[in-house]
Amino acid sequence: MKRKQLNIGLFGFGCVGYGLYEVLEKTPTLKASIKKICVKNKAKQRPIPSDRFTFDRNDILNDEEINVVVELIDDADSAFEIVSAALRKGKAVVTANKKMIAEHLQELIALQRTYDVPLLYEASCCASIPILRNLEEYYDNELLDSVEGIVNGSTNYILTKMSEESQSYQNALSEAQAKGYAESNPLLDTGGFDAKYKLLIIAAHAFGGVLKPDQIFNAGIDRIGALEQQYAKEKGLKIKLIAQAFKKPDGSIIAFVAPKFIKATDKLYQVNDVYNGVTLKTAFSEDQFFVGKGAGAYPTASAVISDLSALTYDYRYEYKKIRSNDHVPYSDDVLLKAFVRFDAADKAFVSDRFEEIEEQFSNASASYIIGEIALTEYIKLHENTSTSAILISVINEEVGDKFDIDELVAETELSDIA
């Protein structure tokens, strides 16, 4: 098969942009070269000659020799302007911008269809793990039940450093920033927003339903305190930020992001540092597990390279599973088992939210309840900023048997928290 030559216009030359530049230099077999690079900051010193750069996006968008735009900028609104203008001009686009895709996925699908051009974004989800193309191509059937995983590298790095090296939250976050894992606004990572955007994209390719970002509840790691960390330690658990989506029998999709206690027998327990891991549950093959580095210049650039390579043989997402949007396929009707820490003053507010309470603990500095709670009530608890909720399992009857719902037996007593 004759492969296409790609003349690339690159937007952004930050951590991933420079990573891509270097990886492309080392991949001479790929028929792709960067013709121009558009950047914003005129004053910034860059490691390659200044004549490679432009500050005017039209120098790329109006260049007819450029047939591929690679968009690796930070600002999701400008990214959408650039990507949609490029698609309108018939240029293929590769992007890693999960926020931009999650906020505009329906429009981006429509643009691809109208202008008959591909938009690929494997690098937007789990960096080096080829999750989207697998969901799109291999799982082209109704047999996929659920997707659950660690999809944010920075938060996994922070949680690992806190639990295994007893680093402070702030110190671990600074390291994640220094290593180029975190977003420029790290609240996107620590608050679970980045994971939510990725989950939206993954759920669209898994189940064919395009949700809106504000339909997906996201909690982050920023409220995890000493009590729940000590609880995890004493029970041999780890706390991980988990994104999960699954289909109910009526076809609706439940999706949310929350910190969760993970047992040592769960494959996600071994996924540490900047690694991401995704478990797919299917009707006949049971669990399948994907793992790989989830952030950083080279892992992300490797996914961009893979998309570029796919463009040389005219690959595109066909969105075979995407349903029409007249029926928004979202549901929040799900029962959870959770651990909730709260201030003594909030006791009535918190206990009233539970359908069933299994365990309670209280001392002078903090209290917790473990029990069954509807997702909608869990969300109300999250709105109270002094509570911290950690998910234990999903216990809906319809989907429960597809999840690990073993009870967490209180084998040890939690020691007093100083």
Q: Select the residue interacting with ligand HSE from 154, 190, 306, 396 (CB under 6 A).
A: 154
Q: Which CB atom, from 67 or from 154, has the smaller least distance to ligand HSE?
A: 154
Residue ranges in 293-322 that form contacts with ligand HSE under rule CB under 6 A = 294-295
Token pair of 220 as six digits: 């982050």
Residue ranges in 159-198 that form contacts with ligand HSE under rule CB under 6 A = 181-183, 189, 194
* CB-based contacts of 131, cutoff 8 Å, min separation 6: 122, 125, 202, 278, 290
Q: Closest CB to ligand HSE belongs to which residue? A: 154
Which stretch in 17-25, 26-34, 146-154, 316-324 sits in contact with ligand HSE by CB under 6 A? Answer: 146-154
Decide: is 15 part of the binding site for ligand HSE (CB under 6 A): no
Decide: is 208 part of the binding site for ligand HSE (CB under 6 A): no
Determine how many CB atoms are found less than 10 A away from the CB of residue 33: 12
Q: Select the residue interacting with ligand HSE from 149, 153, 220, 292 (CB under 6 A).
A: 153
Q: How far is the CB of 170 from ligand HSE (least distance, A)?
A: 17
In Å, what is the CA distance from 192 to each residue of 97, 100, 208, 276?
Answer: 16, 16, 23, 14
Q: What are φ and ψ of residue 300, in 5° steps?
A: -70, -40
Residue at 355: amino acid letter? E
Decide: is 122 part of the binding site for ligand HSE (CB under 6 A): no
Decide: is 127 part of the binding site for ligand HSE (CB under 6 A): yes
Decide: is 377 part of the binding site for ligand HSE (CB under 6 A): no
Give the integer Cα–Cα distance in Å for 329 and 323.
Answer: 9
Give the integer Cα–Cα distance in Å for 178 and 411.
Answer: 40
Q: Which CB atom, from 61 or from 291, has the smaller least distance to ligand HSE?
A: 291
Query: Can you state the angle between helices 226-235 and 153-165, rounded to 10 degrees?
Result: 70
* CB-based contacts of 333, cutoff 8 Å, min separation 6: 248, 254, 374, 375
Q: How far is the CB of 195 from ligand HSE (least distance, A)?
A: 8
Q: Select the residue interacting with ligand HSE from 97, 152, 163, 388 (CB under 6 A).
A: 152
What 3-state class would DSSP assign to 416? Answer: coil
Q: Which CB atom, from 153 or from 292, has the smaller least distance to ligand HSE?
A: 153
Query: Is 198 annotated in the active site?
Result: yes
> Which of the residues 198, 260, 293, 337 is marked catalytic?
198
Tell me the H-state helices in 127-282: 131-137, 153-165, 169-178, 187-190, 193-207, 226-235
Token pair of 157 as six digits: 């790095």
Site string for ligand HSE, 259-298 (x = CB under 6 A): -----------------------------------xx---
Q: Which CB atom, from 154 or from 218, has the smaller least distance to ligand HSE?
A: 154
Number of residues that bind ligand HSE (CB under 6 A): 11
Give the integer Cα–Cα distance in Å for 24 and 16.
Answer: 12
Which stretch in 38-46, 152-160, 278-286, 312-320 sits in contact with ligand HSE by CB under 6 A? Answer: 152-160
Token pair of 398 as six digits: 């319809």
Q: How many CA atoms lie within 13 A of 191 on its CB side?
A: 12
Binding stretches for ligand HSE (CB under 6 A): 127, 152-154, 181-183, 189, 194, 294-295
Query: So which residues are the catalytic ones?
Result: 198
